[in-house]
Copies of this chain bind each other. A is one copy, B any other.
Amino acid sequence: MEAKRSLLAIFLLLSFLSISTATSTRKTRTRNPCKSMVFYFHDIIYNGHNAKNATSAIVGSPQWGNKTILTGKNHFGDLVVFDDPITLDNNLHSKPVGRAQGFYIYDKKDIFTAWLGFSFVFNSTQNKGSINFAGADPLMNQTRDISVIGGTGDFLMARGVATLMTDAFEGEVYFRLRTDINLYECW
């Protein structure tokens, strides 16, 4: 009788144990970000007359293009290198907390769309290190998701998603992107 009761206790305990194991496994799969941040970056493209202020320049273009004017066909084929200031608010003249460095390529003939490969390089009191991004940016959508493919320093081994929003677009010379970063893998 006692022995039977103890066996029952074992089963109950084991059941409880397997339930709590399952729960903790589920926890590691939670979709809550381990880190969330919002930044803005500012791109001023070289147009032949703004060498001092420009933060980016066309360095590749298709046969019908050139290096000082974004091409027709929704800029298809234009490759732009950039070193853009990152700010915490949407003011171009706020103190930068880092630089967005890399390239984008306009890659569609019938609508504005780009492919991005770049890094946020931080060197502020709050953040040191870099976050690396890659992905497709269908510019005409209000929000676009690209991948956080890695990081260094404070962001070592980071993975996650960055949501881009065009916060301003002035002629074809200046644009500002709001970037909501959600990391789902942190160290």
A interface, CB within 8 angstroms of B = 2-7, 9-10, 13-14, 17-18, 21, 24-25, 29, 31, 46, 48, 57-63, 65-68, 76-79, 81-83, 99, 101-103, 105-109, 113, 115, 117-119, 121, 129-130, 132, 134-136, 138, 145-153, 156-157, 159-161, 184-185, 187
In the docked arrangement, what's the CA distance between A119 and B157, Å? 18
On chain B, the residues within 8 Å of A151 by CB distance are 147
On chain B, the residues within 8 Å of A156 by CB distance are 161
Contact B63 A79 (CB under 8 A): no
Given A61-B59, A134-B149, A150-B134; A101-B78 close (CB under 8 Å) = no
Instruction: Give the Cβ gap from A48 to chain B, nearest Cβ, in Å.
Output: 7
Q: Which 7 residue pairs across A and B have the least CB separation, nearest first?
A: A147-B150, A2-B3, A145-B152, A63-B67, A119-B136, A60-B60, A59-B60
On chain B, the residues within 8 Å of A6 by CB distance are 3, 6-7, 10
Contact A132 B147 (CB under 8 A): yes
Contact B134 A117 (CB under 8 A): yes
On chain B, the residues within 8 Å of A5 by CB distance are 3
Contact A57 B67 (CB under 8 A): no
